[in-house]
Structure 1
Amino acid sequence: MIDLAVKRNRDSWEFSIDRSDLRGNFAIHVLDQGGTSLLTLPLREHLDGFSRFAHLTTAGMSWQQQILSYFIELGQTYLVIRPWWGSRLVVSLDDLMPVADKNVDHELTQFERSVVIAELKKISSELHAGKSPAEDRSTKTVKFTLDSCLYLPGVLDLVETIPTLQELEKHCFIQGSRSEETAIPEVELKLCCGRRFVQNSLRRLGVKPRYPTYVVVDEESGYAELNCKDRRESQLVFDIRRDAAVREIFMRLGTPDYIERGGERFDGQKYVRWMLRYEIDAESPYTLLIYLNRDRDQAVRCVKYSPPFWVGPDLFPAEHSLIKHDGGTVISFIDDLENGTFAGEITEL
């Protein structure tokens, strides 16, 4: 992964895309027109929450998902970095130093809201025209992605975007999906990544989603695709037995919102533990985790978490965040599900 860098271009600034030598994703760099470093800011020291929410991968630190970065003129030129967890790093490019954002918080928030609202309208228009929205939505002054636009309405409390989000939820965004055919035997699922971000935003804005997060590719598999409204408002969830077959679970509840996994030891050997995660949009919403056996074809345990995970990562207030950028869990920290740190109620069903 490449560090985020900005570069002076005569009388303006731009995001640099030609410094592949700045690897690791541990810092932000400010470069002059010739590419010489003017300022380097280690993120652990300057970006609030970085140590908790960024996590190390074999390619470097992972943290730029759903990022919103931009240049803005407010008496002077600022570079603003807003990661998915909501903090900001504000850098004065005139003085080449980080500054507190409290003096310009209102202006920055208004700018961020206007960017997201305008881009959602563009995405909606593209879909209505039969086009696939581009993943990279960046301009010369703003760096962000399609997922950023779908994720941020719930963070910025953009209630005015609810009608647009409901329209966007109908679309699978299948071009941005990951295949999950190895997760559950006998069925191939596709994760609609964009739809997941839309649904997280809708829930945070007080609206129940209506469409499945995973779609079944093989329609002859016999698995039902109950939409979210049917599933969440029914009592079927309470009829799931601890030893229920995955086929029965899918027929009753539809496809899950997440397919989670974590490491576990059994008879001295390490294997992957799989869980089906459902966000139940009842009057008092909660998260339902259905633990599967080693063959991934039968439930062995059902656990209810209240409040639901989509409320945010602070439900697990550890030094590291169990909840990651897309609302899923970080496999390395899966033990946090049961280590007593959950800020809510856990109920065995």
Structure 2
Amino acid sequence: MSATQTYKIEVLKASTSKIKEVDFDNLHFGEVFTDHLFECDFKNGEWQNPTIKPYAPFLLDPSAKVFHYGQAIFEGMKAYKDDNDGIWLFRPDENYHRFNHSATRMAMPEVPEEIFMEGLNQLLKLDEAWIQKGKGNTMYIRPFMIATGAGVIANPSDEYKFMILLSPAKSYYSGEVKVLIAEHYSRAANGGIGAAKAAGNYAAQFYPTNLANKAGFQQVIWTDDATHTKLEEAGTMNVFFRINDTLYTAPTSERILDGVTRKSLIDLAKREGINVEVRPVLVSELVEGAKNGSLKEIFGAGTAAVVNPIIGFSYQEVYYELPKLENSVASQLKEKLTNIQHKLAEDTFGWTVKV
């Protein structure tokens, strides 16, 4: 295909809308989807037939390689509607580039920017009635790609399907979160696919997270695979630690996802004069900080929750409770970031992009 290839998106509108059946005040995250989806197939070495069509199940060959060899990647994004009915995306270029980074790591074809961005924009415009105004109301966006080529020989697929789903969402809050620091299980290893947003990364977390749930904890803070002494991610999110008046977070690596919310919070914190250090953080530092009172906050950072405070952690069967703060750094940063996303504060960084 030529680098200047253009793609015409076919639009097939749903005959009726499901929107009147949706209770927007009582949404469960990721369970309700809009009237349409976007799809585009990779066959014969090229992307073809980009289409917006009514949301519906589709058929796959039982030998499709996504089922047997796990070639599947995704992204998580959000769209917002301002008070003037304008629709905005937050740093979509970061998600696009990370999506293709994941594709390369999983031996999948990169998706052209025109297909990704134009497909997303047209889909959002078609289903714009589903994007509710008001802070806390968002449209969660799930671009993903799966291997659809048939055959059980262990090699990369020669056919793929790229799709985008839209799911209206309310403010995501999972209540008080207590975490277990991993002493045996790891999220990812050096040389592995931890830095890719691959479906298998999340499947591998389910079992140790279930064990943590049974022990009374909501999530796991993952540690490095070699020594289990370095703190890496919290559940499916990047994680920050506030010791005294400094925020610490682990550097991205082959094991740690380059989170869009993570990098945005780092920039925001620096703008607000908060000291931030990006460096490996040791479990021993956390335990010592909890014992001497210098550990003030732990919070996860990700697209769905934006910021998720953690009230305590357990390590080697000892539980450490964190202090209750009236005006935490986590709450301050979340407020400032969501105000930018909802166009309630000036975007001095140029992060928001109008659809």
- TM-score interval, smaller chain: under 0.3
The higher-RCO structure (CA 8 Å, 6+ apart) is 2
Task: State the TM-score, normalized to the length of structure 2.
Answer: 0.27
Task: State the TM-score, normalized to the length of structure 1.
Answer: 0.28
